[in-house]
Amino acid sequence: MRTQVGIVGAGPAGLLLSHLLHLRGIDSVVLEARSREYVEQRVRAGVLEQGTVDVLNEAGVGERMRAEGLPHHGIELRYGGAGHRIPFERLVPGRAITVYGQQEVVKDLIARRLADGGKILFDVPDVAPHSLQADPYLTFGGERLDCDVIAGCDGFHGVCRPSIPDGVLSIFQRDYPFAWLGILAQVPPSAEELIYSRSDRGFALHSMRSPEISRFYLQVPPDASLDDWPDERIWAELRARLETVPGFALTEGPIISRDLSAMRSFVAEPMRYGRLYLAGDAAHIVPPTGAKGLNLAVADVRVLTEALAHLYATGSTDLLDAYSATCLKRVWRAQHFSWWMTTLLHTFDTDDAYGRRLQTSHLDYVTSSEAAATTLAENYVGLPLDSGAPRD
């Protein structure tokens, strides 16, 4: 087999990259180790930045998102027995977020790529990249795929980043002393917007996926087990952490899925080795507090698309050579914002009275200062995207 761009991973990064390249007349093949059913049902992030929404709409894959997604123009920070709304419509006019599940984005992209004749191979065993410095190719299940470049969009645990020789990448990592327990519940949301709640019991997040499905998260110990969290305990803890303002009552119902996520920050740089380009979680991880993971992946593949289109149109590698530096500028901004949101809202040590007072003081500042609230709002809805292309 022969293609121009070999893409490893059929998550949102790999699928969107394949679609954007197709729009520019560039051929690609996507290799995915899991089944189509698995990648379409995998529950992940659901908050899309304004820039991500714009990219999907401009690429012609936003029809269902526009019909079913939930635009939000603010979030609530809840602490100290009161709720404080951060109004995006006033602080960052014309910009918002849209709640639309990652698995729905994946379904839309798969359907569009297959309708366009795109090549997505699922259930592919033993994918491995080779000859990364020149004449790269991928092997899988006894087959070989030759390509001009390889895009590693296969996530944190994928095969592409480990294929880079030791000593090439600089690794930056921070592990947090807690995890998130996430659930999907078949109940209408209890509020119209996301609620980020800080309490001495730990952090809780009220979110949603549709008018009928709610999404909740609880801060739990890093060694927590799902067996330790039956439905009754989950709802009791959500009530204790969210029902902290007068008049708010949590709507409860059947829990249809649950998962545990480690909380970590991770960056591998540069995001390139030879003709292998890393994108999305293969290169960087952020704690989900700032809702940046999927959005960073979209930003990465947008830059990579422009660089590859420039290569095939002009023969110049200038934009590919700048790919890592262009992406990392945004990655580190998102790293800082995600770290800031995480440290602002989580309980790190229940005996640290000094730390809790600092958190409260900072929350008071964010919710009373126009400048501080604007900083949160503009980072949350997403800073303007940079393609890496020269500006006129």
Catalytic residue, from 196, 217, 273, 277: name it. Answer: 196
Name the nearest CA neighbour of 50 among 78, 23, 71, 34.
Answer: 71
Q: Let me know: does 383 contact 376? Beta carbons within 8 Å.
A: no
Catalytic residue, from 292, 310, 323, 346: name it. Answer: 292
273 given a catalytic annotation: no
Burial class of residue 196 (count of CB atoms within 10 Å of its CB; 0-12, 13-18, 19+): buried
Catalytic residue, from 19, 72, 284, 310: name it. Answer: 72
Integer Cα distance of 304 and 282 in angstroms: 14
176 given a catalytic annotation: no
Catalytic residue, from 79, 100, 288, 310: name it. Answer: 288
Catalytic residue, from 100, 273, 277, 380: name it. Answer: 380
72 given a catalytic annotation: yes
Please give the biggest Cα pair distance in the chain.
64
17: helix, coil or strand?
A: helix
Name the nearest CA neighbour of 287 among 337, 361, 252.
Answer: 337
196 given a catalytic annotation: yes
Burial class of residue 247 (count of CB atoms within 10 Å of its CB; 0-12, 13-18, 19+): exposed
Could you give the residue ranges of the DSSP H alpha helices within the chain? Answer: 12-23, 36-41, 50-58, 63-68, 88-91, 102-115, 231-242, 293-314, 318-321, 323-345, 353-368, 370-381
List residues with catalytic annotation.
72, 196, 288, 292, 380
